[in-house]
Amino acid sequence: MAFDVQKIRQDFPILHRQVNGQELVYFDNAATAQTPQPVIDAIVDYYSTTNANIHRGVHALSQEATEAYEAARQKIQKHFNAVHPYEIILTSGTTEAINCIASGYASILQPGDEVIVSAMEHHSNIVPWQMLCEKTGAQLKVLPMLQNGTLDMEAYAQLLNARTQLVFVNHVSNALGTVNPVASIISQAHAVGAKVLIDGAQATPHYKVDVQALAADFYVTSAHKICGPTGVGMLYGKAEHLRELPPYQGGGEMIAEVTFEKTTYADLPHKFEAGTPNIAGGIAFGAALDYVNSIGLEAIATYEASLLAYATAALEQLPGITIYAKDVEKVAVLSFNIEGLHPYDVGSILDKMGIAVRTGHHCAQPIMDYYEIPGTIRASFSFYNTKEEIDRMVEALKKAITMLQ
C-alpha cells in the first residue's frame, strides 16, 4: 500500500486546529508526538466503561480493567520482543524508568567502580547517575562526542575496563537526531562484564526495536513519544537483572506479605509497580503501538527519511544556516542555528506563524557547551507531517531572518 499521509492526518484531531490565526504546523515531535483518535478513544472508553482499580478486586469492572492492562503489557512485550511479559515494567515515563535502575544499583555499586555515560545524553540520563555516584563512591566517566555529532568510539574502547559496571547511552540523540551504534556499545560493554541501559525515548517512534537482538540489559522509553499518552512509559530489563535489584519504592501492589516485623516483595513485574498505576495510560500505550504497527515502522521510517532529506536541502539554501550532525545517520530531526540570530527569537516568530519548533538546549546542555552555543532551533518531523509544511517553515524562516537581521 502507498503511504497516504493525508489519510493518516485525518486520525489526528489536533492537526486541524489553528494557532495564532494560522493552520498548525507541528514540528516538535521529539518532545511529544501527537495522539491519534484510536488512542484518544481507548482512554475515553476506559473511563466510560471500565474505570476500576486493577489486580485487587473480584468484581467485574476490576477484572476487566486488569485484563485490559495486562493485555497492554503483552502488546508492549511483543512489540519490543522481550522474552517474558514480566520483563516489562510500566512506569510514569523514561525518567522514572532510569531512576528505578539508578536507585537499585545504589545498593550494589562499590567505591572504585566505574560507570560510563555519553556526552550526548538528555539530562535525565545524566543526573541520576551523578546522584548514584555520589551515594556509592563510584566514578562517572564520560564517553566524548565528536564534532560531526557522533560518539567517539575509539575513546569508548579506552574507557572500558574491569572496573566498568554500567554504561548509559541514548539510542538516538534528542538534541541532534544522531543514531548511536548501540549494538556495538552493548557488545563491547558485555566483553568487560558491564551492563548497559539504553535510553530509547527518541528511537522508538522511528524504529522497531528488538531488545533481544540488541542484547540490551535495560531499555527505556515513554509512550508519549510513540503517539501514546503522557505519564506512562516502559522499563524493559532482563529478568535476572531485575530480580537482582531491590524495589524502587514501597507501597501497595509490590508486596507478597507485610507484617510489622518483615515485608516480602512480589515477583516481577509487580515488585517495581507500587501503588495504583496509570491504568488508562497503560491501556492507551498498547493502543498506540497497535496504531503505529498498523501503518508499519518500516514505512514510517522511509517516509520520515524523505522528509528529513527534503528539509535539509531546503534549509541549506538559507543564508547563515548551520545544521548540526548533518552528515551522519540520524532520524528526522534538524537541529540548526542561523548566524547572528538567537534560537529563542527565531522560534517566537515561527510560533506567530503557527509553526511549533523547540528552541534551547533541549535538556542536553553538555552538547551545547561542546559546540559553544546557547542552544539550537530543533524541527523534528513525524510520519503525519508533510513537505508542504516544511515549505511553510522555510518561508517563515526567511521572514524571521529579514525581521531580525
Q: What's the pLDDT tens digit per position in 204-219?
A: 999 999 999 999 999 9
Q: Are strands 88-91 and 233-237 parallel, antiparallel or unpaired?
A: antiparallel
User: How many C-beta atoms lie closer than 10 Å to residue 157's C-beta?
Assistant: 11
Which one of the listed residues 100, 133, 227, 363 is annotated catalytic?
Answer: 363
Residue 280 C-beta-side C-alpha neighbours within 13 Å: 17
Residue 363 designated active-site: yes
Q: Under a CB-based contact definition with an 8 Å cutoff, are residues 5 and 383 in contact?
A: yes
DSSP at 325: T
3-state secondary structure (DSSP) of residue 288: helix
How much is the pLDDT for 247? 87
DSSP string, 156-205: HHHH--TTEEEEEEESB-TTT-BBP-HHHHHHHHHHTT-EEEEE-TTTTT
pLDDT computed for residue 1 by the predictor: 56
129 within 8 A of 102, measured Cβ to Cβ: yes
Quote the pLDDT of residue 56.
76
Q: Which residues of the chain have pLDDT under 70?
A: 1, 252, 254, 256
Task: Count how many residues are written for the chain.
Answer: 405
- Chain-centroid distance of CA 217 in Å reads 17
- DSSP per-residue codes, 122-160: -GGGTHHHHHHHHHH--EEEEE-B-TTSSB-HHHHHHH-
CA gap 256, 280 in Å, rounded: 25
Q: Which helix (H) or strand (E) holds 236?
A: strand 233-237
Domains of the chain with CATH codes? 5-28+297-404 (3.90.1150.10), 40-293 (3.40.640.10)
Instruction: Please state, in angstroms and rounded to a whole number, the distance separating the CA atoms of residues 31 and 216.
Output: 24
**CA–CA distance from 352 to each of 21, 262, 349, 397 (Å)?**
9, 60, 5, 12
User: For residue range 364-405, what is the model confidence (pLDDT) as tens digits?
Assistant: 999 999 999 999 999 999 999 999 999 999 999 999 999 998
Residues pairing with 23 in the sheet: 18
The three-state secondary structure class of 55 is: coil
pTM comes to: 0.96
